[in-house]
Amino acid sequence: MNKEGDIDEFIDVLISKKPGEKKTIQLEFDNINTNDLFDNLLYIFTQICKKKYNNDGDKVDIDKLDYKEINDITLYFASFGIYLKLNIYDIENYKNYSKHIEDKNNQHELFFSNNKDLKKLLYKIYIKNSVLIIQFDFL
């Protein structure tokens, strides 16, 4: 796919068909730093969920996505060369995991925001009795 446009146009074209093969779509950003790349990837994740898997208008219950839907989202990311890693922890297991991470008890939180390594950036979302951790890396 070779088309110039904004990120929302990219998302619309991306999800207009089934996920493609790994690294078959080229996504480029001009002069972007790691944090901005992470923010854009998180935006793409959010918009894919909202546009394909919303339950009532603009709302998505991430905890209700099934294996196929999650797999399709990861395949969309793989099609433009990004590995999407989603980990869901129950609250008790997360407490053990989070001992290594500064936790400010926010509902949504970006960690390691000064890091230059994409795979070390992560975002957490509290979902009922679980915590979703979102990470990205290059394939």
Residue-wise pLDDT tens digits, 17-27: 999 999 999 88
> At residue 67, does pLDDT exceed 50?
yes
Q: What is the pLDDT of residue 17?
A: 93
pTM as predicted? 0.82
How many Cα atoms are found within 13 Å in the side-chain-facing hemisphere of 98?
23
Q: Model confidence at 88, in pLDDT bands (50, 70, 90)?
A: confident
**Residue 96 in contact with residue 80, Cβ under 8 Å?**
no
Q: Report how far residue 89's alpha carbon sits from residue 79's, in angstroms, rounded to the nearest whole number.
A: 27
* Highest mean pLDDT out of 1-5, 37-41, 64-68: 37-41
> At residue 74, does pLDDT exceed 80?
yes
